[in-house]
Amino acid sequence: MTATFAASLILLLCVGGFGLAATINQFAIVDAVNAKLPADAQFNALGWHLPKTLRLHRAYRRLYPDGRLLKRQASLTALMMLCLVTATVLLGFGVFLTAWLGVGSLLLLCLLYWRK
């Protein structure tokens, strides 16, 4: 096993670890928001899509203006994407695939976490 393959494998394991941590953090955000919402306006833990995620983020920012869970979620997602892009570089994927992953990751972070 070469060193680059071993490093890529470790990075891909980190992608899974950061993804799991981000999922647990997402459940913490849902629990925090649902604790302050009436029963008919609470978020269901299943069936996530982009508009529902954006509504959750708006509700979290409104209910917890100094909350840190969204910043933690953004950090975990950024680390996950950084490990993925680095692994694609080490494994020798093409420039276009690596650039597509990198640019797509930045757009995802901007859309979900950096816009108000």
Q: What is the pLDDT of residues 92-107, one digit of tens each?
A: 888 888 889 889 888 8
Range of the domain at 61: 3-43+52-114
Q: How confident is the model at residue 113 (pLDDT cuts 50, 70, 90)?
A: confident
Please list, in sequence order, all residues whose beta carbon lies within 8 angstroms of the beta carbon of residue 68, skipping any fewer than 6 positions away: none
pLDDT tens figures, 11-41: 999 999 999 999 999 999 999 999 999 999 9
Closest by Cα among 58, 65, 74 to 26: 74
Is 0.75 topped by the overall pTM?
A: yes
Q: How confident is the model at residue 111 (pLDDT cuts 50, 70, 90)?
A: confident
Q: What angle do CA 58, 35, 77 make, to 5 degrees?
A: 45
Query: What per-residue confidence (pLDDT) applies to 45?
Result: 86
81 vs 98: CA distance, rounded Å: 11
Query: What per-residue confidence (pLDDT) applies to 7?
Result: 93
Query: What per-residue confidence (pLDDT) applies to 116?
Result: 62
| Cα–Cα separations (whole angstroms), residue 77 to 38, 101, 106 | 29, 13, 10
Place of tokens 């997602």: 77
What total of structural domains would you count in the chain? 1
Q: With the C-alpha atoms ordered 90, 93, 95, 100, is the resulting torsion angle positive or negative?
A: negative
pLDDT tens figures, 44-58: 988 889 899 999 999
